Structure 1
Amino acid sequence: MLRLAAVLFMLSVPVPAAANGFEPVKDKDRFLSLVKDRTLRIGLYDLSISVLPDGRIDGTALGWKITGNWSWKDGYFCREMDWSGTPIRYNCQLVEAQGADRLRFTVDQGKGDSATFRLR
């Protein structure tokens, strides 16, 4: 369970920024246009998250509730979450898009591990 909490916004394999056709998303309006009325998914963990324009995060992973809050600061997606009672610490992340179908979040303002989500 703790492993999944750590994986919610990062995968175990670091990926260099701007690799594989991903382009940085530095503007909040662009980010919102990508996630509007869509769900971020990682099928392996049955993870589905909605990032709402009012600053809330809502979703599930392995059938357990995810809640949280987010803001846009200096070109980064900053969030804190809770996964069914397990806090997921505040972190500001680099967001990159690959077309309109995938978003990659890299922790520690792009210096850490990454997680790639499909947009549904």
Structure 2
Amino acid sequence: MMFRFATVLSFLPVMAAAQDYIRVSEKDVFLNLMEQGDLTHAFYNITVKVTPDGQITGDALGWPVTGNWTWQDGYFCRQMDWGGDEIPYNCQLVEQNGDLVRFTVDQGAGRAAALRLR
């Protein structure tokens, strides 16, 4: 596979300034957000569903995305597979700005990707 899903997410533009985002630190708040729709990015053809039972499903650039997640110490922790390529376990800072949800790897210390709820 030419591009890895994590690589694709690392190139997604962040759509608003940092001060516009509000941290999501509670699992129930995160689940309420995920009930509002799928996480999408039109340019990269990404559609991912995060379900309350700890599953991640969808596709990106035409390849299937599967995985599982947990909520640990205020962070979204996930492991995924994208078209046969493993995306290693990582805990991410989650922030919200309207219908945008931003995930920042390494508990907020790494690259960020903003996805739209649709």
TM-score (normalised: structure 2): 0.90
Give the corresponding residue for 1:32: 31
Give the corresponding residue for 2:3: 3
* Deviation of 1:11 (Å): 2.9
Matched, 1:118 2:102: no
Q: Indicate how the Cα distance of structure 1 residues 89 and 104 shifts in structure 2: closer, same or farther if over 3 A, else same.
A: same
User: Equivalent residue of 1:44, what SS?
Assistant: coil
TM-score (normalised: structure 1): 0.88
> Take 1:37 and 1:111, find their aligned partners in 2: how far apart are those partners?
27
The Cα RMSD (Å) is 1.8
Unaligned runs of 5+ in 2: none
Per-residue deviation, residues 11-67 of structure 1 (Å, max 9, x unmatched): 367x6xx71500100000000001115100011210100000000000001111100
Identity fraction in percent: 52
Q: Report 1:1-120 matches (<5 A).
A: 1-11=1-11, 19-99=18-98, 101-120=99-118
Unaligned runs of 5+ in 1: none
User: Equivalent residue of 1:112, what SS?
Assistant: coil
Structure 1 runs of 4+ aligned residues shifted over 6 Å read none
Which letter does structure 1 place at the counterpart of 2:64? K
> Take 1:75 and 1:31, find their aligned partners in 2: how far apart are those partners?
10
> Take 2:12 and 2:116, find their aligned partners in 1: how far apart are those partners?
17
* Deviation of 1:2 (Å): 4.7
